[in-house]
Amino acid sequence: MKYGIFYQFCQKASNHPDKDYFFIIDEINRGNMSKIFGELLMLIEPDYRDNKIKLAYNGLDFSVPQNLHIIGMMNTADRSLALIDYALRRRFSFFTMEPGFDTDGFKKYQQKLNSPVFDKLIDRVKDLNDEILKDDSLGSGFCIGHSYFCNLDTCTNDALLDIVDFDILPMLNEYWFDEPSKVERWENDLHGVFE
C-alpha cells in the first residue's frame, strides 16, 4: 500500500483551504471507476465533503476537501461513455464543449498564422461540422474539433494536408462507413482547398 496521487492531492488541498484545487482525469469514461474512486465515491459528493471516514485498506481517517474540484473529461463520440453508471453520473455536473473555431482565442491564433489556405480549410471543416450535426446517427459529439489545428508553429500546406489525410478523413471513413460517396465528396472538398 502507498499513498496515491489523489490522496496526496487531497492532503495538499486540505493544507490550503482558501485556494481551489482541480484534479483532472482525462477520458474518465475509459477508466475502471471502482478502481479509480473505490470507497471515495461517497466522499466526492458535496454533502460528504470534509467528512472523514475510515479507509477500509489502511484504517486511516480520510476526507475529500470542499476546495478540491474533480474534472472528468470524456469524448461523447466514444462508445464507452455508456459504461459510466448512474452512481457516478449523479456525482458530476456535465458541461458540453463545442469545437472552438469561433472563439476569440482561436481567431487570434488564426490571424497570427496569416494563411489563406488555413482560413479556407477551417471554413470547410465548419461546413463539414454542420453536416455532422444534422446527421441523425452522429450529432454534436462527433464534430471535428479545433484541437487538430492548434499548435502549428508554421502553417504549411503539407502540415494541413496531413491533418486532413491522417486525422479527419479516417474519422469520416468510420462515421460514414456505409456511405462511401459522402466520404468521397468531403475528401474532394477538403482536398480542393489546396488547389
pTM of the model: 0.69
Q: List the chain residues with pLDDT less than 50.
A: none
pLDDT digits (tens, 9 = 90+) for 11-65: 999 999 999 999 998 887 777 776 777 777 778 888 888 888 887 777 888 889 9
Please check whether residue 66 is in contact with residue 49, taking contact to mean a CB–CB distance below 8 angstroms. yes
Q: Report the C-alpha gap between 159 and 26 in whole angstroms.
A: 27
Tell me the chain's radius of gyration from C-alpha atoms: 22
With DSSP H G I counted as helix, E B as strand and the rest as coil, what are the percentages for the chain, rounded to 5?
50, 5, 40
Handedness of CA 187, 189, 192, 194 (dihedral sign): negative
